[in-house]
Chain A
Amino acid sequence: MSFDIQVNGRPFDTEPRAGQCLRTYLRERGWFGVKKGCDAGDCGACTVHVDGEPVHSCLYPAVRAEGRAVTTVEGLASPDGELHPVQQRFLDAQGYQCGMCTAGFLMTTAALEAERGTPHDDGKLDDLPRAFKGNICRCTGYRAIEDAVRGVRHVERPGAGKAVGRNVAAPAGPQVVTGTARYTFDVEVPGLLHMKLLRSPHPHARILAIDTSAALRVPGVVAVLTHEDAPDTLYSSARHEHPTEDPDDTRVLDDVVRYVGQRVAAVVADSEQAAEEGCRRIEVTYEELPYVVDPEEAMRPGAPVIHAGKGPEVRIARVENNVAGEVHGEIGSVEDGFAEADVVYEETFRTQRVQHASLETHGCVAYFEPKEDGTGERLTVRSSTQTPFLTRRALCALYGLPEDEVRVIAGRVGGGFGGKQEMLTEDVVTLAALKLRRPVKLEYTRAEQFYGATTRHPFTIGIKVGARADGTLTAVQMRVVANTGAYGNHGPAVMFHSVGESFAVYRAPHKKVDAYSVYTNVVPAGAFRGYGLGQVTFAVESVMDELARRLGTDPLVLREKNIIGPGDAMHSPIGEEEDLYIASYGLDQCLSVVRKAMAEDRSAEDAPEGWLVGQGTGMAMIATGPPGGHYADARVSLLEDGTYDIAVGTAEFGNGTTTVHEQITAGALNTTEDRIAVRQSDTDVVRHDTGAFGSAGTVVAGKAVLLAATSLAERLRTLAARHTGVARHLCVLGAESVDCAGRLVTLKELYEAGHALGAAEELAADGHWGGSPRSVAFNAQWFRIAVDPGSGEIRILRSVHSADAGKVMNPMQCRGQVEGGVAQALGATLFETVRIDGRGEVTTAAFRRYRLPQYADVPRTEVHFTETSDAIGPLGAKSMSESPFNPVAPAFANALRDATGIRFTELPVTRDRVWLALDREARRTRTVGSEDGRK
């Protein structure tokens, strides 16, 4: 039987496999623009046109494409390379961040435009919430996408040296919109083997035996790896500059499994199908062990001990009580503080398990390449990671390899949100690659992202606050229990961070905390945007609102009375952070924005009749970088053709740091961004980089780039002076040339002169930043909402966010970070929940069961930046990636309280739960009323 299909005008005749979907058929033919987001028809990232009709290619049986013409994003532009108008508009508006969803939005929009005016047109293009029902973007919050569809232009091309503070376009834009940006799995590696993981069906069990013989007989299976093949070394999947921050409680493959979904064995085969079949043929004999999924139960005496037998060297706080880490501290005496208070309010708040849901799943490809010095081969791991350098360090430690034997690189990363500050696949893939000396790939499925990766830490926060009648806080006390799941990766660190800035942002003479990070037999939690702060901020900001109500005070006034000021020290009961300073202070401006929005707001008039209307605020403070040092090296070089090259370690996953690095360099070297190229996220390009986490891309890596670029500018002027004999102070660096008192030395000429003068090393400069000292950034969020008491439906009438990002490097991108953070936080506020059953097994392992914010769910948020300039950050900038998330949930809950009179203490606040609470309250009131009547 012959098969023929046209893809972007080119014929292909390879017959698809019987059960193959069109998505993988196209990718196997090299059309990597067709992305996998969910592989289940929910996210639209794989949208292509089949005979002109848009379809989700992950659901399209490849055999049905026989005789048809398929267009992918690579075929959207005209053959001569002229962009499709939709592609151009996505560039002009920068309607993307990580770009994994972009091909889907482009193909969908292009199809809608083609349909316009035809008899099939049903008005979707005028109704984008409906048009984009099947397209999920995790990064942008959709405003940028709307602007792209509507043709709003944001990007600018500022002149030489003027890039900082302007809307310079992300350099990868043209690749993103043409489907040619190369993400982790968009590579062809000859002889590639595929790995699939067998996962535990039990929440806690000892593996007594594994029979791999049947699996090994499956045609195509090359190897089956079990705990017997894995090193005994214990480590943490969490990546930190200092590995001692996390307990070493993990093995590559263990003989004890601690959650449903933990990997048990890895099958390597010449195809994914064979590896999958191999997994089905492995026979494992388990001895089931008692398990515990609730953290409070896990801490009680007699609870199953999840890491029994591990010693103090692995740094688990209390193995026998399942406490991975804990902190206890008190400033003053909260007992005295509560005695001094006129009002004391106490409540318990709970946040749920949330998934990062970056559209690119976890995974990596490991292969061997010749070393540059000709002394054999070295291992290269191409990974979807936020931390290439730390992952190399971990792999070297795990397998006893010198650093020059391992290279770790990240292509463009399709979203992170903290989830990729983790080594979840590189360890086991490296094990296989080293054993087989062959290239091996492991690409997680969407379902594996839910049960085999990490989540945000679910928190329970018991909080008690006291205040005098005038609103002055006297005491704040919290008991925090964070559920870290089966492993302690990021557990103690998230717990520490959660009670740092959240306590410090309010002045109170007496503060006390008891916090625990607790093991349970559930999929591990890990780093997540906000790193614990968002959970505790939900409690703190809800309580401040409630306290104000009880005192009869405006919640904003209560806050203003008690927040730290620019000259204040930051006190947390867990101790001082010695390198943390308020190097710029914009919290007052953040609250002023809210006050102004409230004063002028008329959105309550938009509420439907009979709906309850309310407004609420939340605010948050965050350190501009992780504690204990966050290192970045950068090198900026002048190239032979007169352009510049930036080498920097940090990864790009839509956060926009690459753009900012170009802008900083363009400013320092008085040039334009099109004369600068960036090489990044590769352990070969610089000495070290701690990684793209802790919102460090601008303030740490950016600072290293600034230092390098500034230093290079000085060197080039010196060189020009030497070359021309003109005094150095008369040599002015320009975009094309150095103006040496009227004599123009082109940058090409300068490059040649550098070599001729034997000063080639002067054509490049290094920068290094250690991430310390650190400053703090502030955010405030305000909502006005309307609630339908008859259904629980909630409409956001207005959303206002103020952000103190210091000097904003790129307003368009920074706005995008804020909008995306607000949208992601709204998901966690309104519906996102990774549900587990009584055995800790995840029951929501698909996007149709785990609702992500879609176009229709996300309101437009007005974003305001404060006028501040930081004394520490590069050119006055501060971080603004994680922090917009943190004030959103409490602002929403406070608005809900204002509208309904009910304090919601548990997230998410879905419509059914809101209605149920209102209904119960109404019944209670009726009952109380009738009882009163009888009396």
Chain B
Amino acid sequence: MDLNTITDVRDARTREPWRPGDAWLGGGTYLFSEPQPRLRRLVDLSRMDWEPLTRHPDGSLEIAATCTIAQLSRHGRRFLDAPAAPLVEQCCRAFLASFKIWNMATVGGNLCNGLPAGPMISLTAALDGSCLLMAQDGSTREVKVADFIRGAGVKDLAEGELLRSVTLPGRALECRTAFRQASLYGLGRSGALVIGTLDPVDGSMAVTVTAATTRPFRFWFPLPPTAGRLRAVIDAAVTGPEWFDDIHGLPEWRRHMGLRLAEEVRRELTHTPGEGAR
């Protein structure tokens, strides 16, 4: 929709001083989807020409904040040579949004929205991703995705601070993964999304619960836990109000689905397939 209070769109490359009423413009798919009466200027990131996806020599994958979902999806399906690659497409498809939105929406935008159902949060939190953040003065810092999101829509992001990229460590990409999603609707917004990763090097397992909870919860186990232990750990860590309560699912159901999907993920990863793994 038209954002009628916007008076100017600035090119982010000019690095002008940040003002109240400024907002970073990534894909625009969130900003233009709701009235933004407090905003006056958009600082456009579309000409930064950041390489959307970079595989570093250490095996890690750096995803620019401006990488579109469509670019990420194609990379995951066609180019990413890693056991965890299928997870990329699974998470892209967990979007409520159409593939047409994927052509515009960015990975960074999804992270910075910080919504519990943000599937890029699920993906990057599960694969132990780290956010590279740039302050207005040019200084940078890194924070784990699981810590970057602090609550429903609440991020560890200062005014004017910019998410530059998110990096998935090579070790995480080498993991076998399992993915489960639940929604109230057919192909709808996630009410619970759980991802498991099994590290082939040391046999450790991580289970990341998102969408059911107000923020991502990543549980790491040196060895795959029993069903009882997994359930107990999750239930102990996620307090009552952290089971998300909104129109896309009752918190009791989300807790149930979070635990159920976690167990399904655990079982999938501990059940050694007939062939293919290890």
Chain A positions within 8 Å of B, measured between CB atoms, are: 17-21, 23-24, 39-42, 44, 47, 53-56, 58-61, 63-64, 108, 111, 119-120, 122, 124, 129-135, 272-273, 276-277, 280, 445, 447, 790-793, 830-831, 833, 835, 843-844, 846, 848-849, 851, 854, 856-857, 910-913, 915-916, 919
Contacts and interface: CB of A to CB of B under 8 A. Distances in A.
Nearest to B36: A19
B3 interface: yes
B100 A56 contact: yes
A848 B33 CA distance: 10
Given A41-B32, A63-B9, A912-B191, A108 B252 contact: no
A791 B250 CA distance: 12
B1 interface: yes
A135 B98 contact: yes
A860 to B, nearest CB: 14
A56 B103 CA distance: 9
B100 A44 contact: yes
A848 B189 contact: yes
A55 B1 contact: no
Contact of B184 (A132, A790, A844, A910): A910
B29 interface: yes
A119 B78 contact: yes
Given A791-B257, A916-B253, A47 B100 contact: yes
A124 B9 contact: no
Interface string B1-32: 11111111100000000000000010111001
B9 A18 contact: yes
Contacts of B34: 40, 846
Contacts of A24: 2
B56 interface: no
Contacts of B93: 130
Give the one of B77, B96, B101 with max A CB within 10 A: B101
Nearest to A64: B46
B42 A55 contact: no
Given A19-B42, A41-B33, 16 more contacts: A19-B7, A23-B1, A60-B32, A61-B28, A64-B44, A108-B100, A119-B78, A130-B187, A134-B99, A134-B101, A276-B4, A790-B260, A854-B186, A854-B187, A911-B184, A912-B254
B141 interface: no
Contacts of A131: 99
B125 interface: no
Contact of B103 (A55, A273, A844): A55
Nearest to A119: B78
A3 B74 CA distance: 32
Interface of B: 1-9, 25, 27-29, 32-35, 37, 39, 41-42, 44, 46, 73-74, 77-78, 89, 93, 96-101, 103-104, 182, 184-189, 191, 247, 249-250, 252-254, 256-257, 260
B47 to A, nearest CB: 10
B3 A19 contact: yes
Nearest to B89: A122
A790 B112 CA distance: 33
Nearest to B98: A134
15 contacts: A17-B4, A17-B6, A19-B4, A20-B2, A24-B2, A39-B1, A40-B34, A55-B101, A58-B32, A59-B101, A60-B32, A791-B182, A791-B260, A835-B247, A844-B247
| Leading 4 A-B pairs by shortest Cβ distance | A134-B98, A19-B6, A856-B186, A19-B3
A19 B185 contact: no
Given A851-B184, A857-B185, A915 B256 contact: yes
Contacts of A132: 98
Contacts of B39: 19
Give the one of A41, A846, A857 with max B CB within 10 A: A41
A833 B250 CA distance: 14
A272 B260 CA distance: 50
Contacts of B186: 129, 854, 856-857
B265 to A, nearest CB: 15
A23 B184 CA distance: 31
A848 B96 CA distance: 9
Contacts of B104: 55-56, 59-60
B33 A59 contact: yes
A127 to B, nearest CB: 10
Given A21-B32, A854-B185, A916-B250, A277 B257 contact: no
Contacts of A18: 6-9, 41-42
Contacts of B44: 61, 63-64
B2 A19 contact: yes
B73 A59 contact: no
Contact of B1 (A40, A108, A857, A915): A40
A273 B104 CA distance: 25
Given A44-B100, A133-B99, A59 B28 contact: yes
A277 B5 CA distance: 8
Given A63-B9, A919-B256, A53 B32 contact: no
A54 B100 contact: yes
A135 to B, nearest CB: 7
A133 B96 contact: yes
Nearest to A920: B252
Contact of A280 (B1, B37, B74, B247): B37
A59 B260 contact: no
Nearest to A53: B103
A21 B25 CA distance: 13
B188 to A, nearest CB: 7
Given A41-B97, A133-B99, A851-B188, A59 B256 contact: no
Nearest to A919: B256
A131 B184 CA distance: 19
A133 B97 contact: yes
A645 to B, nearest CB: 41
A61 B9 contact: yes
A848 to B, nearest CB: 7
A44 B98 contact: yes
B2 A272 contact: yes
A60 B2 CA distance: 10
A912 B250 contact: yes
A124 B74 CA distance: 14
Contact of B2 (A21, A133, A910, A919): A21
Contacts of A55: 100-101, 103-104
A688 B156 CA distance: 64
Nearest to A25: B2
B76 to A, nearest CB: 10
Given A21-B1, A120-B74, A130-B93, A912 B184 contact: yes
A851 B253 contact: no
Contacts of A54: 100, 103
A24 B2 CA distance: 7
A134 B100 contact: yes
A26 to B, nearest CB: 12
